[in-house]
Chain A
Amino acid sequence: MSYLELLKLASPETIVVITALAVLAIGLGTGRVKSTATVSTSKPAQSTNDTSTATGICSAVAALGLSIAIGTVLMLPRNATLFGGMLVITPLTSLFKIICISLAFFTVLLTTSEKALRHPGEYLALVLFATVGLMLLVGSEELLMIFIGLELLGLSLYVMTAFDKTDVRSAEAGLKYFLFGSMSSAFTLFGISLIYGMSGTTSLAAISEKLATVSVQALLAVGIVMTLIGFAFKIAAAPFHLWAPDAYQGAPVPSAAFIASASKVASFVVLGKIVLVGFARVHGGAAWHAMVAGWSPVLAALAALSILVGNLVALAQSNVRRLLAYSAVAHAGYTLIGLVAGDRDGFSAALFYATIYAITLVGAFGVVAMVRRETGGDDFANFCGLASRSPLLAGCMSIFMLSLAGIPPLAGFFGKFYLFSVALRAGANQGLLWLVAIALLGSFISLYYYLIVLKTIFVDEPSLATARHLDGLSSDLLPRTVVVVLAASVLLLGLAPEILAAPIVAAVP
């Protein structure tokens, strides 16, 4: 194994890292110009002007680097394994690297509308480092490497969350996220060490073989549960979701979008790989008439709890971002059902759902970002009468909300149908019906709060304070385009789900 070949197979990651360094350098350069300008002329207008130029250049470079990275992913060989699974290339990893990079790409484009960022170079570099973490996470079948990916992702996200120094909520969110995150990392590491102690290896495939002969004993159970806790934290499944509302509400909007989308998709890919490949032999059973110890009852319990807690608490929210956070908890629960179902179909349904959910949430946060910029907040009051101020944004937001609620012909509806049908088929004799019924009850509850958001947008009269017209601005053309593209793809994936479902089904081993 030569380093040249390693470089070739890891070229997408390399390119993203190089881009990150380049963006950092550009940010430093333009940042210094800005500070001198502020000191010498003390004209705030010019300084914001400088920042927005810097934001423009940095995000252009970042977007370019990410597009090149997508290109190189496409050029990778179909299958390759390095260092016993440390770095793996399969159709699945390539597909999800592309999806994660694209989500990062949209996040980068959304940053251009974020005026509050004082150091765009550093911020975008962090986004790119987090993207590298995602790519490592997706492209590995080895516990240590997965842990490194998780940490790289996590550390970048903590800083991204706390990035807005002018906002005390952002700092609070960052701290909460960090404390919960590091705690759960500790759990994961402990779990991994126990698994390693039992099996003597960290490669998922080898673990699976070793565990084949072992019955579920206390030590293994503790190892599995602890490993799962770390991921439950990452996907914000109840009861490990407590950081999510603050992070979603307090973080700068692009950070929240990134946490809700790309980070989640990658976590689901890895979680799926760990439980379905590594712990394949200790699947257990979550059917109501035949509960068997293993990881699937654990995930089923997490799913049921997430769906109920997420949806019920979301009912009481009056801030759109907080509401999205609690609904994210519920959606993590729905997605987990696919993993509980547990076979190839279940995994692909879960991945399909996670992907469309991510697309939807990036779009929703895009709308939130624009509303926030115009009205200075993201409470329901700021959304009042959005339909008359900006029919386009209102239309896009309704597409996102209704897709989350699972209304046809949007992608969320097909996603739910796919997910629940797979779950129902998995347990013999409709064993998972209880979980599906809870999920359907949850989506019934969820319609109420999504409709309340839409009611605020379409029915309520705009208050005078927020009566500015959103459509008259041309400066946010780019984020607006992003939102429209995402809304269109949500609609398209609902009308022709085959476009995304077929590659995922083909790629899942």
Chain B
Amino acid sequence: MIAWTIYLTFAGAVLLLLLPRRFARWIALFTTIAGLALGLIALVRTPIADLAQFTTIVRVPWVPALGMNYQLAIDGVSLTMVLVTGISAVSTVLFSWDVEHRQNEFFFWLLLVVGGCYGVFLSADLFLFFAFYELVIVPKYFLIAVFGSTNKEYGAMKLTLYSFFGGMLVFIGVLTAYVTAGSLDLNQLSQFQFSPQLQAWAFPVLFLGFAVLAGIWPLHTWAPTGHVAAPTAGSMLLAGIVMKLGSYAGLRVAMNLFPQGFQMWSKWIALLAVVGIVYAAAVALRQRDLKFVIGYSSVSHMGFVLLGLAAATALSVSGAVLQMFSHGVIAALLFAVAGRMIYRRTHTRELDVLAGMNLSRALPFAAFTFVIAAAASMGIPGFSGFAAEITILIGAWRTYPLAVWITGVGMVLVAAFTLRALKQSFFGEPEPGVTLQEGQIALDPDWNERQSITVAEKCGACLLMFATLAVGLYPKLLLDRIMPAVEGMRFLK
């Protein structure tokens, strides 16, 4: 039944092309809610034991001559990713509730991204997987280039070309695996013994291709510019789920198919991950644009995921999966506050300008949300960020103790830039008469009805805050499902 997340989302996308625009946002909302509901039903109904293996749920011959099947499967890792996709998608739609310009088209591209992500997380056939993976690239371009802001065409093209460059490396890896093993079934492939010589070069090609999308240093530069250029919904989707495609694929495909290659290269991945964590955090400390701060924080947080994967213990990899979930929610929340709640009302994201506005008085709900998001992002206990990062670090301690030490420094930097952003954006010293770019007074001291936070935004923010709190307080909910699935993977043995 979880397969219907894919069909419903694409059906919604097609429907958007056919129906007039007054239905657009409702179609998008219902489609994404249905997707989330299906994910939650699967979470409740599927016995935990069934999630330990990558269990096939649909298998239909597609192109028998080439051994291609339409095959979907699910395990604990996939289910977690499906859930975060659903949560991000619903909140994204809620946060784009008042998009007026080319509305149908906007939600069409948005649903294509969401549907493609569901597809990637559920595919159990390498060709199908790759098709969904590449499908996500082009809608992102349009989402950013048509609906974005700051330098949008440059950001969109850069992001698309980086993604496609990664896709090209992935293409080589996928073809090599397919041609050598003669099969496209991921479960069969993860049993196949590839020769060590082949793994030695095929693994880095494949993993690097995926890691581009996960924002690995030094191929991360698309992420900040892309996030800044994107409309709020675009940044939320990008940081929330699209970056996770890369790390999920690295785990599911690259590491499972080429375990020996992974062992040869894992220390280099750990090195890049640690450099990424510290470097991105340091860069974020110096940014003036709030979205750039959050963009670099995404890169830094994704570094944790890569470190968890590279450490290759059951605990660290499970932590990495949990961090994918956690960061998906937190990043979406941060971008929602920066891009929607603040930017829509003040028309600026410059921290120096925001500092003079004393926004916490004018937008108390936004301030509250941002405090929660910042706390979760810094890894304060009780939020999902803490649960995930501590799991990764404990897991990685056995393999790379030095990396854990350096990462600890990185976490201090993360806390530093988050607090700086928080203080400057909401709790700055009020200066009278700060003006907007368009020359109006930013926020009237007396309450302006149009500038209040809308119900849709509140719902979206509450959903995301609830998700990060729920998982933070009770990580067992997901970890119980992730751990057995990770323990069954080949590269751990």
Contacts and interface: CB of A to CB of B under 8 A. Distances in A.
Interface stretch (B23-31, B168-176, B393-401, B404-412): B168-176
A430 interface: yes
A424 B179 CA distance: 7
Contacts of A425: 179
A219 interface: no
A448 B135 contact: no
Contact of B175 (A407, A421, A451, A497): A421
Contacts of A455: 145, 153, 157
B69 to A, nearest CB: 12
Contact of A408 (B66, B134, B165, B178): B134
Given A409-B135, A447-B160, A447-B164, A436 B172 contact: yes
Nearest to B138: A407
A440 B161 contact: no
Interface string B150-191: 000100010011001100100110011011000000000000
A120 B141 CA distance: 42
B157 A408 contact: no
A413 B157 contact: no
B164 A497 contact: no
Contacts of B175: 417, 420-421, 424, 436
A408 B132 contact: yes
Given A421-B179, A424-B175, A459-B145, A444 B168 contact: yes
A408 B137 CA distance: 10
A444 B137 CA distance: 12
Contacts of A417: 127, 130, 175
Interface in B104-157: 127, 130-132, 134-135, 137-138, 141-142, 145-146, 153, 157
Nearest to A408: B131
Contacts of A418: 66
Given A440-B172, A444-B164, A444-B168, A458 B146 contact: yes
A414 B68 CA distance: 11
B63 interface: yes
B58 to A, nearest CB: 16
B160 A413 contact: no
B62 interface: yes
A440 B127 contact: no
B65 interface: yes
B131 A459 contact: no
Contacts of B171: 420, 440
B interface, by DSSP: helix, strand, loop or mixed? helix
A403 to B, nearest CB: 11
B63 A498 contact: yes
- B62, B134, B179 pick with most chain A CB within 10 angstroms: B179
Interface in A456-509: 458-459, 497-498, 501-502, 505
Contact of A443 (B66, B161, B168, B179): B168
A332 B132 CA distance: 27
B157 A448 contact: yes
A407 B172 contact: no
Contacts of B165: 444
Task: Classify chain A: how many residues form its interface, as a range.
Answer: 20 to 34
A244 B51 CA distance: 57
Contacts of A451: 138, 141, 157, 160
A425 B178 CA distance: 9
B72 to A, nearest CB: 15
Interface in A387-405: 402
A505 B65 CA distance: 9
Nearest to B135: A408
Given A407-B134, A459-B145, A430 B176 contact: yes
Given A437-B172, A444-B164, A451-B157, A430 B132 contact: no
A441 interface: yes
Given A408-B132, A441-B168, A447-B161, A459 B153 contact: yes
Nearest to B166: A444
B296 to A, nearest CB: 26
Interface string A409-447: 100011001101100110000100100110011011001
A356 to B, nearest CB: 14
Given A440-B172, A455-B145, A501 B63 contact: yes
Given A407-B138, A408-B132, A502 B65 contact: yes
A459 B171 CA distance: 29
A497 B65 CA distance: 11
Interface string A319-354: 000000000000000000000000000000000000
A418 to B, nearest CB: 7
Contacts of B64: 498
Given A409-B135, A425-B179, A451-B160, A458 B65 contact: no
Contact of A459 (B127, B132, B146): B146
Contacts of A430: 176, 179
Given A418-B66, A444-B164, A413 B134 contact: yes
Contacts of B134: 407-408, 413
A443 B164 CA distance: 9
A414 B157 CA distance: 24
Contact of A498 (B62, B135, B142, B178): B62
Contacts of B131: 408-409, 413
A458 B146 CA distance: 7
B198 to A, nearest CB: 8
Contacts of B176: 424, 430
Contacts of B141: 451, 454
Candidate in B65, B132, B165 with the most chain A CB atoms within 10 angstroms: B65
Contacts of B146: 458-459
Nearest to A414: B63
Contacts of A501: 63, 65-66
Contacts of A424: 175-176, 179
Q: Most chain-A CB neighbours within 10 Å: which of B135, B153, B160, B168?
A: B168
Nearest to A459: B145
A458 B145 contact: yes
Given A430-B176, A430-B179, A440-B171, A407 B153 contact: no
Given A408-B132, A448-B157, A421 B142 contact: no
Nearest to B202: A430
Contacts of A454: 141-142
Interface string B23-63: 00000000000000000000000000000000000000011
A440 B63 contact: no
B290 to A, nearest CB: 25
Contacts of A505: 65
A420 B146 CA distance: 33
Nearest to A452: B157
B60 to A, nearest CB: 11
Nearest to A441: B168
Given A408-B132, A447-B160, A447-B161, A402 B168 contact: no
Nearest to A406: B134
Given A437-B172, A448-B157, A421 B135 contact: no
A421 B178 contact: yes
Nearest to B141: A451
B179 A407 contact: no
Contacts of B135: 407-409
B137 A407 contact: yes
A407 B163 CA distance: 12
28 contacts: A402-B138, A407-B134, A407-B137, A408-B130, A408-B132, A413-B134, A417-B127, A418-B66, A420-B175, A425-B179, A430-B179, A437-B172, A441-B168, A444-B161, A447-B161, A448-B161, A451-B141, A451-B157, A451-B160, A454-B142, A455-B153, A455-B157, A458-B142, A498-B62, A498-B63, A501-B66, A502-B65, A505-B65
Given A408-B134, A454-B142, A498-B65, 11 more contacts: A402-B138, A408-B130, A409-B135, A417-B127, A420-B175, A421-B179, A436-B172, A444-B161, A444-B164, A447-B161, A448-B157
